[in-house]
Structure 1
Amino acid sequence: MSKSAFVALVTCFNEDETINYEATRAQVRRQVAAGNNIMCAGTNGDFTALTYEEKVRLTEEVVAEVGGKAKVIVNAGMPATFETLKLAREFDRIGVDGIAVITPFFIACTQDGLIRHFSTVANAVQTPVYLYDIPARTQNHIEPETAAKLAQHGNIAGIKDSGGAQQTLEAYLQVSRENPGFEVYSGPDHLVLWALQNGAAGCISGLGNAMPDVLSGIISAFNAGDLTEAERQQTRFTNFRTDLYALGFAPAMVKRALYLQDQSVGASRQPALLPNTEQDENIRALLRKHELV
């Protein structure tokens, strides 16, 4: 089965911090043209800074812009099951290909609590649900044993692993092997090719915002059986990632790298870091070094 890449799409903002839907649609077109699918309202989409109403409209705009030319996954995860459920039902109504549910944040959860949370959402919608694990940000981690239990649910289709630890990714891939139909999508950008080689269904990438063609290149080369080309593109991806993420908080650096390629994306909502002239110069130098401008 061919593998697929999703880009964890940035949300574009105007100077007054309202969402710039036209600029966001332009980013959708850019990614679809490169051959990538879309995940919206995720970590790289500033989802924690968006209101409930904005997430619904954002999803409507993205789905309309994609127009069936690519797949769309949207993140419904919020700290409480109640609001997650409300969002998931709206996304189900709009018609997306998958609903990602990030682990609750701020509220400490037991593994049993996570099972109840994800199952409640998956029971309430027709759209396939994807677990979304990013413990460094949420302080809640889906243990592989928990993923294995949830994989038994008829409407839980897989997991996005953004933990960054190869060991955890390996454990989720083992769950996938034991539960046909349960897909693993790799989040860490340096592990895209490794994950594909070890049975992942694909990746969901933040860095792909700044390097859409390189991300697409890894996937298409792998699908074509051209491992040499896939490795070459992965090396480009990893090298830029290493340089860029050394400068600061990864999603903020990706957004800024994209802004310096196309200013219509705008800055992030406060209290995210304000643009910094010195930092921008460092990012510009990296864009030149990696032949992205």
Structure 2
Amino acid sequence: MSKKAFVALVTCFNEDETINFEATRAQVRRQVEAGNNIMCAGTNGDFSALTFDEKVKLAEAVVDEVNGQVDVIVNAGMPATFETLKLAREFDRIGVNAIAVITPFFIACTQDGLIRHFSTVADAVKTPIYLYDIPARTQNHIEPETARTLSAHGNIAGIKDSGGAKETLEAYLAVARDVPGFEVYSGPDHLVLWSLQNGAAGCISGLGNAIPQVLAGILNGFNTGDIAQAERQQALFTAFRTDLYALGFAPAMVKRALYVQDASVGASRQPALLPNAEQDAEITAILKRFDIIAGA
């Protein structure tokens, strides 16, 4: 079975910080044309700054624009199980391909609490659920043994690992090897090819917003057996990641790198990092160095 790349799609905003749905749809089309699948309302999509109704409308717009051409995953995770359930049921109604559930944030959870949380959501919908681990942002980590326990649930299809540690990713992959049908999607952009080679079902990438063809090139090379191509594209992806992320918080840098290419994506909602001219100049220089935009 071919491995899949999902892009954790940015949410585009107008100057007054309302969602720019037309610009967001344009980004969906750009990713579909590159051959990438879509995850919306994730970390790179400013999900924590969106209201309940906006997330529902965003999911509806993305599913409508995709029109079955690629898969769509939507993140329903919120601090409380109550609201997570409400969102998951809305996404279930809309007809997304899968629902990601980020670990609760602000509320400290035990592993037993996480098992209850994810199981309750998975019980309530027909759409497959993917666990979403990003402890740097939520302060709650899904231990590999917890993932193993949850993998026995008939409607929990896998996990998205955005922890950044290869050791944790390896532990999740060990669960996938032991549990048929349980999938691992890697989040760290420098580990895309490594994760594919070690049994991941695919990746969910933030950096792919800025350079979608490179991400698609890694997957295409791997899926067609052209590992040399996949290695070249991964090396380019990693080098771009290293230079861009050296400038600041990764999602903010990705959004700004995209903004420099296409201002219609807008800035992120406040209190996100405000861009400045010096940083924009550095981002522009990186984009020129990697031939993403034309040089002077």
Question: TM-score, normalised on structure 2?
Answer: 0.99
Name the counterpart of 2:33.
33
Write out per-residue CA displacement over residues 133-183 of structure 1, whole angstroms, 9 at most, x where no aligned residue.
000000000000000000000000000000000000000000000001000
Correspondences of 1:140-219 after superposition (within 5 Å): 140-219=140-219
Instruction: Classify the secondary structure of the residue corresponding to 1:160.
Output: strand
Aligned to 2:58: 58
C-alpha distance in 1 between matches for 2:31 and 2:200: 21
User: Is 1:74 matched with 2:64?
Assistant: no
Q: Deviation of residue 121 (structure 1)? A: 0.2
Measure how far apart 1:92 and its partner are.
Answer: 0.0
Q: CA RMSD in A?
A: 0.3
CA distance in 2, matches of 1:58, 1:136: 25
Q: Residues of 2 paired with 1:171 and 1:198: CA distance?
A: 11
Residue 233 of structure 1 deviates from its aligned partner by 0.1
Residue equivalent to 2:287: 287
1:217, CA displacement in angstroms? 0.3
TM-aligned CA deviation for residue 274 of structure 1: 1.2
CA distance in 1, matches of 2:258, 2:235: 20
Which residue matches 1:130? Answer: 130
User: Which ranges of structure 2 fall in alignment gaps of 5 or more residues?
Assistant: none
Which digits, 9 at most, give the CA deviation of each residue in 1:246-280, with x for residues without a partner? Answer: 00000000000000000000000000011210000
Look up the equivalent residue of 1:234 and give its one-letter code: Q
What percent of counterpart residues are identical? 81
Aligned mates of 1:187, 1:275 — CA distance in 2: 25
CA distance in 1, matches of 2:6, 2:35: 9
Match of 1:235 in 2: 235
CA distance in 1, matches of 2:291, 2:194: 24
Question: Aligned to 1:260, what secondary structure does the other structure show?
Answer: helix
Quote the residue 1:84 is aligned against: 84
**Residues 109-136 of structure 1: per-residue CA shift (max 9 Å, x gap):** 0000000000000000000000000000
Q: Secondary structure at the match of 1:158?
A: strand
3-state DSSP of counterpart to 1:105: coil
Q: Distance in 1 between matches of 2:288 and 2:164?
A: 27
Normalised to the residue count of structure 1, the TM-score between the two structures is: 1.00
Amino acid paired to 1:157: A
Aligned to 1:276: 276
Give, in whole Å, the separation in 1 of the partners of 2:167 and 2:94.
Answer: 36
Matched residue SS, 1:142: coil
Letter in 2 for 1:151: S
Residue of structure 2 in register with 1:259 after alignment: 259
Report what 1:96 is aligned to: 96
